[in-house]
Amino acid sequence: MLILKLLKESFIFAINSVIVNKVRTILSLLGITIGIFSIISVLTVFDSLENSIKESFEELGDDVVFVTKWPVVGNPNMPWWKYWNRPQPSEREMKEIQKRSGAAEFSAAFFNFNRNIKFRNNTIENSGVLAVTQDYDKVIFFEIHEGRYFTPVESNAGRNVAILGAEIAETLFESLDPLGKEIKVGGRKCVVIGVLKKEGSAMGNSNDQLVMVPLPFGKTLSNSRNLNMTIAVKAAPNVSNDVLKDEITGILRAVRSQKAGEENSFDVSEISVVTNYIDQIFRIIGIVGWIIGGFSLLVGGFGIANIMFVSVKERTNQIGIQKALGAKNYFILTQFLFESVFLSLFGGILGLLLVYSGILIARQNIEFSIYLTSANVVIGLVVSVVIGLVAGFIPAWNASRLDPVVAMRSV
């Protein structure tokens, strides 16, 4: 009952403080509001962005290993020119992995480049083109909304056929059915045989904005010896990625005739390497967000402390009467601490409401999915409570230590 009484009285005093001294209180709480808004906005945006990016990578498969010339995450201890001198992964090496590996279920090779895509009067400049081998659909997950995937004959012969990303199809064909239509990819005629299911994008990177073609046809379009090819290998059932990576490393070293003790002339990695690296990046960004918001919270904390000092001064006589009637020091201390926490929470809730309003506006203007998690709401509320306790402690302590006789004589 005592706690409920304290809560009730503190809430009433906090509301009165807002009503009686609107401008002073609002200006003082502005720091808390801006601080919570800054911190939770950063956490919300980057949590959403991190999850979206990680989901995009995880769709590639957690049982898939990638062979590349350059490391997925750079090694600062290895000079860039050593990477530069490495040979590119090749189709022949992919076939050797498939033939020799007992740990691999499927393997595929692919590379990316950019070309203009045209259908009649509609043109998309510098669209991404993905050239793939036959088993790419068995290694990397994606869904075809309309049409079909490449046949073995189309893949091996390098037929002029293409599968379009959803946005590419919408832009080129608008309301027309794209299947069977002839487009131009880099000036070369190409027949559309499929359209990928729309995925949505993370930082503008998705299958929605690319054209997929057979790898031999892609080579004729790229006109480049430096294809920057990647080999993707899917692990067989009940085979770990570590076992698969070790086997691939042994096969490639044998194919490339590398001597014992010689550094690998290739990089073998998995998606977890990328997602762990992303975790590190966003952890640093989160710390920066806390530092930026921390300055506003510091100002807000001083504002709360100022309100509480003024409140103690204005209610000195009342405090004296309470103590004369038997109120203990802890009662006065707790009463003012509750009031400080209520004021800080009020500012924090305003900050959270601003974040939520910003999310609603953002959802109307961008495709990227932003959401305010319950964890971030709890963080905002907890931080507000802590700021309220810290900022209000000294004023509350001073109030609890007032001499009742002296306090009652004050005007």
For the residues 263-277, what does the mean pLDDT come to?
80
- How confident is the model over 54-112, as pLDDT tens digits? 666 666 667 889 998 888 766 656 676 777 888 899 999 999 999 999 999 999 999 99
pLDDT score at 43:
83
Q: pTM for this one?
A: 0.68
Q: Which two tokens stand for residue 2?
A: 């005592």
Of residues 73, 138, 128, 152, the one with CA closest to residue 105: 138
On whether the CB atoms of residues 399 and 328 are closer than 8 A, the answer is no
The pLDDT-based confidence of 411 (bands split at 50, 70, 90) is: low
Write the single-letter amino acid at 208: D
pLDDT score at 188:
93
The C-alpha atoms of residue 393 and residue 400 are separated, in whole angstroms, by 10
**Maximal CA-CA distance, the chain:** 100
Q: How many CB atoms sit inside 10 A of residue 380's CB?
A: 24
- How confident is the model over 133-176, as pLDDT tens digits? 999 999 988 899 999 999 999 999 999 999 999 999 999 998 89
Could you give the C-alpha distances from 246 to 104, 214, 239, 390, in angstroms and in order?
A: 11, 29, 12, 55
- Average pLDDT taken over every residue of the chain: 84
Of residues 217, 244, 243, 222, the one with CA closest to residue 233: 244
Could you give the C-alpha distances from 325 to 312, 318, 328, in angstroms and in order?
A: 18, 11, 9
Percent of the chain with pLDDT over 90: 37
Phi and psi angles of residue 328, each rounded to the nearest 5 degrees, phi first: -80, 165
Secondary element (H or E) of residue 95: helix 91-100
* 37-61 exposure pattern, b = at least 16 Cβ within 10 A, e = fewer: bbbbbbbbbbbbbbbbbbebbeebb
DSSP string covering 173-202, please? HTTS--TT-EEEETTEEEEEEEEEPP---B
The pLDDT-based confidence of 25 (bands split at 50, 70, 90) is: confident
Q: Which residues contact 376 (CB under 8 A, 6 or more apart)?
A: 40, 43, 44, 47
Q: How many CB atoms sit inside 10 A of residue 229's CB?
A: 22
Q: What angle do CA 87, 230, 136 make, to 5 degrees?
A: 145
Residue 328 pLDDT exceeds 90: no
On whether the CB atoms of residues 228 and 69 are closer than 8 A, the answer is yes
Q: Which residues contact 37 (CB under 8 A, 6 or more apart)?
A: 293, 351, 352, 354, 355
Q: Which residues contact 71 (CB under 8 A, 6 or more apart)?
A: 83, 267, 269
Query: How many residues are listed for the chain in this entry?
Result: 411
Residue 316 pLDDT exceeds 80: no
What ranges in 241-270 are assigned the alpha helix state H?
241-255
Could you give the C-alpha distances from 352 to 292, 358, 376, in angstroms and in order?
A: 17, 10, 9
Say how many Å lie between the first and final Cα of the chain, rounded: 32
The pLDDT-based confidence of 378 (bands split at 50, 70, 90) is: very high
The pLDDT-based confidence of 216 (bands split at 50, 70, 90) is: very high
Q: Which two tokens stand for residue 92?
A: 């022949």
- If phi > 0 it is left, if psi is from -120 to 50 it is alpha, else beta; for residue 24 that is alpha
Alpha-carbon 47 to chain mean position: 5
On whether the CB atoms of residues 368 and 202 are closer than 8 A, the answer is yes
pLDDT score at 138:
93
Name the DSSP letter for residue 234: E
pLDDT score at 350:
92
